[in-house]
Amino acid sequence: MVTRTGGCLCGALRYEVSGEPLRVGLCHCSDCRKESGSSFVTFAVWPSPAFKSTGEVKIFAGRGFCPVCGSRLFNPGKDETEIRVGSLDNVPAGLEPQYEIWVVRRENWLPPLLVPQYSQDRNTEESD
């Protein structure tokens, strides 16, 4: 079984996930853009029992971050935990996005991936 590790910029908060993710995606929503300071966020979702972390985690609006350096790492949940792929220690081999969400907010210079596209959240509509 594959185990991946990751953590924050300062090293105070660490995590690991076991097995393969349930899904991998790109999000272009305004919340993800603001929290990352980037044009989109790449994320992967694992069952919560496959996730564990060490160190202090602060939560704001369901989003976990390091209280020392402010790195955004994961969204812990009861059933699923969403990891920011960029916070993994190693190059995220095999974690290719399977869909894009909130493409109505995607930068016009960024071409769509050849995966299902959702105007907003994938749980609220059919793909385009």
Instruction: For residue 113, tell me if it sits in a domain.
Output: no
Report in angstroms the alpha-carbon separations of 75 from 79, 84, 109: 11, 8, 28
> In angstroms, what CA-CA distances link 20 with 28, 100, 108, 128?
23, 19, 32, 26
Residue 19 covered by a domain? yes
Whole-number pLDDT of residue 35: 87
**Residue pLDDT, tens place only, 67-98:** 999 999 999 999 999 999 999 999 777 899 99
Q: Hey, what amino acid is at 52?
A: K
Residue ranges making up the domain that contains 55: 3-105
CATH for 51:
2.170.150.70
Domain count, the chain: 1
Report the distance separating Cα 16 and Cα 81, nearest Å. Answer: 11
Query: Can you count the helices (H) and strands (E) in the chain?
Result: 1, 10
